[in-house]
Structure 1
Amino acid sequence: MAQYLFDSERYCGEWRRHWIHVSQWLLALAGGTLLLGYVVGAMGSVPYVVGAAAVLWIVLLLLAGFKIGDWFFDKFVLTDKRVMLIEGIVTRRVAMMPLARVTDMAYQQSPLGRVLNYGTFVLESAGQDQALREIAPLPYPNELYLLFCQVMYDPEEMLAVGEEGD
């Protein structure tokens, strides 16, 4: 993480997107595994069908593994000067917005988001279209919202808390 920070910048935290972000791939992988087991059990005497099902399952395993790995390495980072979204395994993409340019911030939670404790953050910046506008789904949105507001509106208090913990 240090490679993305200025020397004068204070790191406030980083978060991985909520696991719901990859849930469809986890479900597809579970369903594909069950389907492969059914095909092997029902068509075990037809090797071409079993072989084709196994190849399709391996392709699904590779795709799901890549998506889950991509989710694992993606980070939402908050510092005392900016907010960043770092994405990608093979190709790295870093989107950034200075905190001084954030004019409005909100988070939204669907009913499922309220139950599983995730939400979508929406950042506005002086009427301009930004690369970092919506960040979804982030875990613990209420706590993250409060921390974000504290960093934006009371940075001296954040520095005092950080110095007490050292």
Structure 2
Amino acid sequence: MTDSGAGGSGDNKDTEPLEPPSPRAPSDGPAPGADSPTREYQFPAGVAGSAPATAASDIDGVRFDDGLTVGLLSGPRTVTVPDVPSPISARYLFPTEKYRGEWRRHWIHLMPWLVIGTLATFIMGLVSGLLTRADFENRDTALWATVLVWLAVLGFVGWKLLDWYMDRFILTNKRIMLIQGVITRSVAMMPLGRVTDMKYSQTPMGRMLNYGEFIIESAGQDQALRNVPHLPNPNELYLQMCEEMYEPEAVDEREAEPEEDLIPEDALSKDDA
């Protein structure tokens, strides 16, 4: 008996040639260990070399949220203004000038009067309660006088609210205007060509609530419009006024650009068909 050993050739042992493994047929089911089945992207018919569309789930973690960029870290925002002047300001504009916008004072302008109205209501309730419990000869007269004083204070606060609504700060391509008053109207105007210096200041409260005071200097000594407090969005308004003074052609070109259609014409023609 012949011993081939560990290093023997093994000539007396019958062996079969090894065959290469057959390729595995593709399966529509999920791969082992996969949570969800994989799908192949099918290109549209007639479109060669098109890139696959990105799934919404693939970019969920890289979307930007506009709500995170607010406050002091946000960039300049476009001031929202109406396309046409309101009836309050339209009467003071002449046909050859171009309307750029109008703004009311910030609501903080009403804060002193709102505080007065709230305190008057509280004091009226307190005094009325004391008068109701008291027992003296002219109690009803004193109670009516208290109510009348309270109504007069509320009427004055309402007048200030109406005055705030009627006041407008107007910007055109030729001048800036400040309209004030309800019955007695006051219109202050300054040409943009005569503005020599302009700045705005914000207190800490103004930075939190987004309002500021504009200080405008002109070449004349008697300035009809110099300090304008409590204007909203001061940074955006400042940039808009500077652009109107130094780059009026750019403003006219931007205003003349046609608006792009949100729905393509091809889609509209297909729907009609």
Asked whether the two chains share a fold, i.e. TM above 0.5, the reply is yes
Q: Which residue of 1 aligns with 2:145?
A: 52
Q: CA deviation at 1:165?
A: 5.4
Q: Name the aligned partner's letter for residue 9 of structure 1.
A: E
Q: CA deviation at 1:17?
A: 0.9
Q: CA deviation at 1:146?
A: 0.7
Q: Which residue of 2 aligns with 1:63?
A: 156
Q: Which residue of 1 aligns with 2:232?
A: 139
Q: Which residue of 2 aligns with 1:39?
A: 127
Give the ranges of 4+ consecutive aligned residues of structure 1 lying more than 6 Å apart after TM superposition: none
Q: Name the aligned partner's letter for residue 126 of structure 1.
A: A
Q: CA deviation at 1:96?
A: 0.2
- Whether 1:25 and 2:113 are equivalent positions in the alignment is yes
CA separation of 1:110/1:165 partners in 2, compared to 1, >3 Å: closer, same or farther? farther
1:1-166 alignment, distance < 5 Å: 1-45=89-133, 46-126=139-219, 128-164=221-257
Q: Name the aligned partner's letter for residue 41 of structure 1.
A: G
Aligned to 1:103, the other structure's residue is in SS state: strand
| Deviation string, structure 1 residues 89-121 (Cα, Å, up to 9, x no partner) | 001110000000001100011111111111110
| Deviation string, structure 1 residues 46-86 (Cα, Å, up to 9, x no partner) | 32332121011011011111111111100000000000001
% same residue:
51
Q: Distance in 2 between matches of 1:18 and 1:135?
A: 11
CA separation of 1:82/1:24 partners in 2, compared to 1, >3 Å: closer, same or farther? same
Out of 35-44 and 129-138, give the one that drifted further.
35-44
Q: CA deviation at 1:127?
A: 5.3
TM-score by length of 2: 0.58
Aligned to 2:112, the other structure's residue is in SS state: helix
Q: Alignment length, in residue pairs?
A: 166
Q: Distance in 2 between matches of 1:65 and 1:100?
A: 38
Query: Higher strand share goes to which structure?
Result: 1
Larger Rg: 2
Across the aligned residues of Structure 1 and Structure 2, the Cα RMSD in angstroms comes to 1.4
| Deviation string, structure 1 residues 114-163 (Cα, Å, up to 9, x no partner) | 11111110111125230101111101100110111111111111111211
Q: Which has the higher contact order (CA 8 A, sep 6+)?
A: 1
Q: Structure 1: where are the runs of 5+ without partners?
A: none
Q: Structure 2: where are the runs of 5+ without partners?
A: 1-88, 134-138, 260-273
